[in-house]
Amino acid sequence: MTALSRSLDVGGIRDLAERFDYFILDQFGVLHDGTAPYPGAVDAVERLKAEGVTTLVLSNSGKRVGPNEARLTALGFAPGIWTHFLTSGEVAWGMLNEMLADPSDLRCLLISRDGDRSAVDGLPLRLTHDAATADIVLISGSESELHDLAHYRKLLEPAARRNVPAICTNPDKIMLTASGPCFGAGRIADLYRELGGSVRMIGKPFAEIYDAAHRLLGMPDRSRIVCVGDSVEHDIAGGKAAGFSTALVETGILETMTQTEKSGLFAQHDATPDYLLARFAW
């Protein structure tokens, strides 16, 4: 029996809504491809709301909740059709806000996307562009369409040599862009480790973000929750480790993979999804 055959194919989100009261939804690769919603995705979220299902959009975005909700709205999702929204950037911001003294004299090298500063706005940190003077490195995004890994290696080497601690608030190693899949912030975090630095990862598949999501949902019985995602490494492995059911959507980063390649991922991460969906549609 193959790994794929151990997953139950379901016709659509409606079938899962008959089984579960709480949905934890990935956004990139499930709800949209970075430029537009997937066909049927907006309707499916609206129908979940109409059915009284509680939805939590859970994203490995180094940006905080506000910019992410604004992006979904700009893509055509009506504001408020999801019940909750949580990002790894939001979880990290809250953690840092509790940890840092005010005022803090820490200098932060921020690696982000599109000039986003939401990961540090309101925190008692001083930004620096020079890794040689940084006290902490915060990796919240990747601009791999503009810069290759050699660029990030040169940028980060001075901090790694000084054993400056790093936090990565977006563990995704692959991200979807208008020009296709590119390396994500998680790959930059791997590079920092290769240079000898230490990195704390916040986001899927790590427990911290799932604990925060469970609290946000009101701590319901885990058997009533299903995690829907397109990444075996992040969404499926993370959801299963948290004790939730999992559903793999075969869009996003899996769209061009063969069944054999998908089975290989299940084995590699010891994470076979409970359910398979061709796409996120009712």
What is the per-residue pLDDT for 78? 94
Q: What angle do CA 242, 245, 246 make, to 5 degrees?
A: 100
Predicted pLDDT at 3: 55
Give the model's confidence band at 267: pLDDT under 50 very low, under 70 low, under 90 confident, else very high: very high
What does R_g of the chain's alpha carbons equal in angstroms? Answer: 19
On whether residue 184 sits in a domain, the answer given is yes
Does 97 reside within a domain? no
**What was the pLDDT predicted at 58?**
98
Examine the fold and report which residue of 201, 227, 259 is the final residue of a domain before the chain moves on. Answer: 201
Pairing of strands 84-87, 54-59: parallel
pLDDT digits (tens, 9 = 90+) for 192-213: 999 999 999 999 999 999 999 9
What's the CA gap between 7 and 250, in Å, rounded?
13
Residue 127 DSSP label: E
> Could you identify the residue written with the tokens 């299902």?
53
Domain boundary at 180, 201, 222, which?
A: 201
Q: What is the pTM of this model?
A: 0.88
Q: What's the domain range around 213?
A: 4-89+204-277
- Please give the pLDDT value at position 174: 84
Which of 201, 223, 250 is the C-terminal boundary of a domain? 201
- pLDDT tens per residue, range 224-240: 999 999 999 999 999 99
- Check which CATH number belongs to the domain holding 184 and give it: 3.40.50.1000
Q: Does position 181 have pLDDT exceeding 90, yes or no?
A: no
Report how many domains make up the chain.
2
pLDDT of residue 5: 52
Lowest-pLDDT range of 68-72, 80-84, 104-108, 273-277: 104-108
Q: What is the pLDDT, as a whole number, of residue 177?
A: 77
Characterize the bridge pairing of strands 54-59 and 245-249: unpaired
pLDDT tens track for 102-137: 777 899 999 999 888 988 999 999 999 999 999 999
